[in-house]
Amino acid sequence: MRIWDIDPGYLNRQSLLGEHRELHGVVSIIVNEKRGYSRHPETLRWVGRGWALAQRHRLLAAEMSLRGYAERSPVLTRGAKGEWPAVFVDEPYRQFLLLREKYRNREPGRIPLPRTAQQLWSQHKYSILARDPNLYRELGRRLAAMKPNREFSELANLLAEELRKPPPVGGLRNALQHMWGHVSGPSAESLPRYRTRREVESWSLARMMAEIRRKALHHPDSYLSASTALGELQAWLPRS
């Protein structure tokens, strides 16, 4: 039984769908007070964290939609809004190592498993920009000066914790506007109006996110194809 704490983009298809099933299993055990696996460490850390379970489910659903799956089984638990489990079964850095071994000679996830701190930061930068521009600048400077072979467990933990924070609306728009710059160039399927900055800035967050995701998937070699923000920001958009 496993609910990961790193971004779902790192999971391959089998692991992504597997976590989705197991999350629903944990919800059923907790809500219905079932005995099976009720004392499992993965179950115990989610007790009293209904809001976080629902949000992790939204993150999984957002990533699943990028892979072509339509998720139709919402999690409606609501307890302890804003509170995530206080402990990890395995810390985020360890989770990357576990997946690297698990995926040896197997299908990878959408996002390559990071081998350096700089690669990990590159994958998370727009997710952090959406939440804290000051931290975004600080980490950018810190990572530029860090040696590529330096161990990055502290950074992995920090990024996992930061991605649990809801990004403000202004932060979302700022990050999406930066992301738009990677997919807004001329292409055969682009319409001229998509390249008008004023009109793009008038779009709703949902529309801008949808266009970015569509264009990034149309060009899978783009920088955004390995970005956590391409998946997880969808799960934090304001719901109408």
In a domain, 120, yes or no: no
Instruction: Say what the pLDDT of residue 21 is.
Output: 97
Can you tell me the distance from the alpha carbon of 100 to that of 221, in angstroms, rounded to the nearest whole number?
Answer: 22
User: Total structural domains in the chain?
Assistant: 2
pLDDT band at 218 (very low <50, low <70, confident <90, very high): confident
pLDDT band at 187 (very low <50, low <70, confident <90, very high): low
Q: Tell me: do 104 and 173 sit in the same domain.
A: no
pLDDT digits (tens, 9 = 90+) for 119-165: 999 999 999 999 999 999 999 999 999 988 889 999 999 999 999 99
In a domain, 125, yes or no: no
In a domain, 3, yes or no: yes
Q: Tell me: do 86 and 181 sit in the same domain.
A: no
pLDDT digits (tens, 9 = 90+) for 69-117: 999 999 999 999 999 999 999 999 999 999 999 999 999 999 999 999 9
In a domain, 147, yes or no: no
- State the residue range of the domain holding 86: 1-113
Can you tell me the distance from the alpha carbon of 51 to that of 239, in angstroms, rounded to the nearest whole number?
Answer: 15
Instruction: Say what the pLDDT of residue 140 is.
Output: 96
In a domain, 13, yes or no: yes
Q: Tell me: do 30 and 96 sit in the same domain.
A: yes
In our burial notation (b when 16+ CB lie closer than 10 A, e otherwise), range 1-36 reads eebbbbbbbbbbeebbeebbebbebbbebbeeeeee
Q: Tell me: do 2 and 87 sit in the same domain.
A: yes
Say yes or no to pLDDT of 188 above 60. Answer: no
